[in-house]
Structure 1
Amino acid sequence: MAKLATVGILSIGEMGMGIAKLLIAHNYHVVTNIEGRSEDTHTRARQSSIETLPTDTAVVQRADYILSIVPPRDALATAQRITTAFSSLGPEGKPTPLYYLDLNAISPRSAREIAAVFHSAAPAIRFLDGGIIGGPPSLAASATKENTTSNHPETSHPWKRPSIHVSGAHPLSSAPIAGANLEEVLNSKHISAEIGPASGLKCCFASTSKGFTAICIQAFTTAAQLGVLEELKEEISTRAPGLFQAGTNGVTSMPPKAYRWVREMQEIAVTHADDGGFEGEGMGIFDAVARVYDSVANETVLGEEKTERRKRGRTVEDVAAAMGEGLASKKMKKE
């Protein structure tokens, strides 16, 4: 069967791999350029039906859509790589429009800056600002039915999918090559003709989820230092079981991603200042949250964790222990 469209994904991390598998299962051809990436990334690509191409120019030539799913710090550089590659095609460009979806955890300000790069360097590329809310797509064990204990019905789709909100002047549903189908497969929703709202929505959501995880990191670590971690866990699990489950899952899944979240928290801080009006001394709480994740990533053994090879931080107790060790070592260096 002929493929519906070709989608370039940059890059093939945990989320990128999940989306690649979802698209391949729905008859899309997925390509990427992983030159210079880690062996883990090369292994992920080899184990899936993802075609690896040698250059960004090859990706641009082949792809109908490019999804940028990189650490926030790399979002601008990735966009610049693609505009350079597109310019190398010459004055004729491509016979069909190329859509570029920036799905990175960045602020509306950063999204607008990236949009300006495309407008200036490659105006023929149709740019969309986007944000992913939820974990990587995965094939569900079985289709689910409506959950009668919740106000939110569960999906009957065979894949567990995050929500992908996009904004900009070019809705996916209007794209000439399988656009409406791609929008449905990705569980995507176009929410605005402006650049910025989709990234802003992502930042506001992550404020609550990853902000809460940072609070739990500090609470569990301090309780462990005081010798009352078990008592704290008992009180939270008894009085707020939903929060306890969310906190436990967040803290134990966080270590391999902490390095990415440092910049994401900084982007969230910019979002709340620029678009929320939370400016001035004492208002930028997410700069402090960024420092929590920087401590995890750069001052503890948790920063060495890889998703494929977890060793430390798989329990709340071990996260607290590793944090305690790292903070104690930092204090001794200062003294």
Structure 2
Amino acid sequence: MVDSMASNGSPLATVAIQSIGDMGGGIARLLIANGYRVITNARGRSQATHERIKRLSIELVNDDEALCNSADYILSIVPPKDALANAKRIATATSKPAFKKRTSPLYFLDLNAISPESAREISNVFDEFSTDIRVMDGGIIGGPPKKVENGEWDVPSIPVSGPYQLSQSQPSGEHLAKVLHVKHVNETIGSATGLKICFAALSKGFTALAIQSFTTAHNLGVLYELKEHLESSNPRAARAVERGLPSMPPKAYRWVHEMEEIARTFESDGGFSQSESPFRAIARIYDLVANGTELGKELTDSRNRGKTAEDVVLLMSEGNAKRKVKTD
């Protein structure tokens, strides 16, 4: 039986997750395995999402007001383009009279892959609504939590920043921070998001370069030779490509806006001009994957194509050929 009490003997918190995608579902599994009550509002979500919620034993609530009144912590884990809208939904719900009856603060952890500028905008949303919500800015570095050998969990890193610290919050904040591998970076909203964005620029930027390099090598008939040379000179990069290309297709639609947020970060916080940032162009690469190839039909829970690097570049080559025919 899972222990539902913190080390000090108090009941564990109720955690709301918006929404239950691949990452949100993984974090829900981790929290439930550690005794937490996990809730979500899935109104307007797909049938696949509803099936995932049922399979993971996540509790459904009827609306955002019920979500805010029931939760101690809200984890916002949505596609980057939806981060601001999701924050406005929650802020609106907390402006209702019923929310004022709460006797404890509600913590909102924005864990989306957005720019520091967007994180600051989200924090300002709650300030404008004058709600009693304590906002933490954060990001998730790594893949969804998964159970490994001996009952242990492989858990991503979650840096957070802002004036509030999860480990010092109540209820069960110290325990929750430990379970989620949360590390407080500093007191500035935007710092943790910036850390996530800078990391994602390296990892997902590399994947975008691999897409173009491997697709071009395929078209030239030298893909095998490229792989051979890469394995010989940089085996870690070769393994990263073999892992990264097949895992990318179901996530490409989310990465389009994330690349734009990276560009925004490098421009607003890094001091680079638009002409010096490659990430607006990289966003178009992932847009091509998501909307111009068969790879865009792939779902995390149901994979048919693009399960190898070779098949990814084959479909990319086909997508480019179709696009060329349309423009000729």
Aligned to 2:201: 207
Residue 280 of structure 1 and its aligned partner are, at CA, apart by: 4.7
Residue 315 of structure 1 aligns with an amino acid whose one-letter code is T
Aligned residues: 320
Give, in whole Å, the separation in 1 of the partners of 2:309 and 2:29. Answer: 31
Contact 1:259 1:303 in 2 (8 A): yes
Aligned to 2:300: 307
Give secondary structure in 1 for the equivalent of 2:150. coil
Find 1:163's aligned residue among 129, 144, 157.
Answer: 157
Give, in whole Å, the separation in 2 of the partners of 1:141 and 1:89. Answer: 48
Aligned to 1:72: 80
Give, in whole Å, the separation in 1 of the partners of 2:141 and 2:99. Answer: 37
Contact 1:57 1:89 in 2 (8 A): no
Contact 2:15 2:39 in 1 (8 A): yes
1:101 corresponds to 2:121: no
Residue 286 of structure 1 and its aligned partner are, at CA, apart by: 0.5
Residue 90 of structure 1 and its aligned partner are, at CA, apart by: 4.2
Listed as ranges, the gaps of 5+ residues in structure 2 are 6-10
Give, in whole Å, the separation in 1 of the partners of 2:225 and 2:110. Answer: 44
Aligned to 2:211: 217
Give, in whole Å, the separation in 2 of the partners of 1:121 and 1:13. Answer: 28
Contact 1:213 1:250 in 2 (8 A): yes
Aligned to 1:260: 254
Structure with greater helix share of residues: 2
Residue 87 of structure 1 and its aligned partner are, at CA, apart by: 1.1
Contact 2:185 2:191 in 1 (8 A): yes
Residue 39 of structure 2 aligns with an amino acid whose one-letter code is V
Aligned to 2:231: 237
Residue 141 of structure 1 and its aligned partner are, at CA, apart by: 1.5
Contact 1:86 1:93 in 2 (8 A): no
1:297 corresponds to 2:290: yes
Give, in whole Å, the separation in 1 of the partners of 2:290 and 2:68. Answer: 34
Aligned to 2:266: 272
Give, in whole Å, the separation in 2 of the partners of 1:93 and 1:122. Answer: 15
1:332 corresponds to 2:307: no
| Deviation per residue, 1:279-309 (Å, 9 max, x gap) | 152x011111111101101110101110111
Residue 285 of structure 1 aligns with an amino acid whose one-letter code is P
Alignment of 1:24-35 (within 5 A): 24-35=32-43
Listed as ranges, the gaps of 5+ residues in structure 1 are 144-157
Residue 257 of structure 2 aligns with an amino acid whose one-letter code is R
Contact 1:100 1:128 in 2 (8 A): yes
Contact 2:94 2:131 in 1 (8 A): no
Residue 63 of structure 1 aligns with an amino acid whose one-letter code is A
Give, in whole Å, the separation in 2 of the partners of 1:232 and 1:8. Answer: 46
Give secondary structure in 1 for the equivalent of 2:160. strand
TM-score normalised over the length of structure 2: 0.95
Find 1:7's aligned residue among 15, 27, 43.
Answer: 15
The 1:280–1:265 alpha-carbon spacing in structure 2 relative to 1, beyond 3 Å, is closer
Aligned to 2:140: 132
Residue 323 of structure 2 aligns with an amino acid whose one-letter code is K
Aligned to 2:48: 40
TM-score normalised over the length of structure 1: 0.93
